[in-house]
Amino acid sequence: MSRVFNFSAGPAMVPEAVLKQAQAEMLDWQGSGMSVMEMSHRGKAFLSIAAKAEADLRDIMSIPENYKVLFLQGGASAQFAMVPMNLLGDKTSADYINTGAWSKKAISEAKRYCTVNIVAETKGDRAPKASELRFDPEAAYVHYTPNETIGGVEFDYIPDTGDVPLVADFSSSIISREIDVSKFGIIYAGSQKNIGPAGLAVVIVRDDLIGKAKDTVPAMFNYKTHADADSMYNTPPTYTWYFAGLVFNWIKQNGGLPKMAEVNARKAAKLYAAIDGSEFYANPVEVSSRSRMNVPFTLANAELDAVFLAEAKKVGLVTLKGHRSVGGMRASIYNAMPEAGVDALVAFMAEFERKHAN
Ligand code: PMP
């Protein structure tokens, strides 16, 4: 068996050391005689696993005490609805920044609940500049997507929304570098990219934003339900929670977020240099907005796309096909993608260009 470099946008690569640890603990977690997936979520063993995962995430992200960390089902998509359901209170509008496909999904869901002001919009080829943002001081909150997974567009700054809570869909860039959590009202992310297997949304929410939902909001969609029950109101996705904990611990043992950020910046720089240094490959995103997690690129001749994918696969570089809405290629290079994977991709791209460009 040999493992490939998997450039999937998510579910995505997991650190090999973590897979091995999960494998070693699969049949008998620390002498309990059972797998974590067989444990009651209310038992002592699982409660300790859950608490450790949260403590490690708090540690690596330096999450302040006045924030709750919720481990919820429904993925990031459920948060598109839960955010307005929980934050509107008596207000009737919210501000959204639109930078691409995932912003749009969040916007269309919010429109079911309130008036959506688009405070800035780009063609999906850049993040707006801070000076372009026109916030409404009466808005219940401001929502944005710090990293657009499909377009490969990432903010290189945190918008300043004053007293209006800032809500961020960090699905594809959470724990890829340090951020100042205190600048946010809510940070949420699906688990299947930097955190681990699918099945979980991690929601980091400031205390004062909990408890504002109307009575008509279902219990399962109310942050207060989950905050009061330590995310155990009903059965949580226990195995994914455990696995996320292994990943958080792996990050802690490997230099924390400063180290992740350093390696991620280097990986992205190498890949963009390969693209920019050739006449054959291109990336349409403005340089200051280029994602360090998802790198879309096209070949000069789209007829070669299938050949590129087939030849890449032969050398163990897989899932490079771009999103169906944009075509071309996309290399997702989350924390768990080793630098050697990017080096191999860059070498393959040069060789492919030499063979096929004329
Ligand atoms: N937001 C972003 C930025 C994403 O990349 C994704 C998934 N690719 C989602 C939301 C949706 O996540 P989920 O599938 O967990 O609902």
Q: Does domain 17-253 have CATH number 3.30.559.10?
A: no
Distances (CA, A) of 141 to 63, 69, 152: 20, 19, 25
Paired strand residues for 70? 203
Q: Share the mean pLDDT of the chain.
A: 97
- Say if residues 215 and 299 touch (Cβ distance below 8 Å): no
Atom 5 of ligand 1, nearest CA residue:
149
- Say if residues 289 and 155 touch (Cβ distance below 8 Å): yes
* Active-site residue, 314 included: no
* Active-site residue, 169 included: yes
77 lines ligand 1 (CB under 6 A): yes
Percent of the chain with pLDDT over 90: 97
Task: Summarize the confidence of residues 128-141 as an average pLDDT.
Answer: 96
Q: Where are the domains of the chain?
A: 17-253, 255-356
One fold for both 17-253 and 255-356? Answer: no
Give the pLDDT band (50/70/90) at residue 2. confident
For residue 194, the model assigns a pLDDT of 97
* Active-site residue, 102 included: yes
Give 311-342 pLDDT, tens digit per residue.
999 999 999 999 888 889 999 999 999 999 99
- In a mutational test of the pocket of ligand 1, which residue from 98, 143, 149 has the highest number of ligand atoms less than 8 Å from its CB? 149
The fold for domain 255-356 equals Aspartate Aminotransferase, domain 1 (3.90.1150)
Q: Which atom of ligand 1 approaches the CA of 201 most closely?
A: 15
Q: Which residues of 27-39 are buried (b: 16+ CB within 10 A; e: fewer)?
A: eebeeeeeebeeb
Give the pLDDT band (50/70/90) at residue 161. very high
Give 75-124 pLDDT, tens digit per residue.
999 999 999 999 999 999 999 999 999 999 999 999 999 999 999 999 99
237 lines ligand 1 (CB under 6 A): no
Q: Which of 29, 102, 241, 250 is catalytic?
A: 102
Taking the C-alpha atoms of residue 269 and residue 275, their distance in angstroms, rounded to an integer, is 10
- Say if residues 124 and 101 touch (Cβ distance below 8 Å): yes
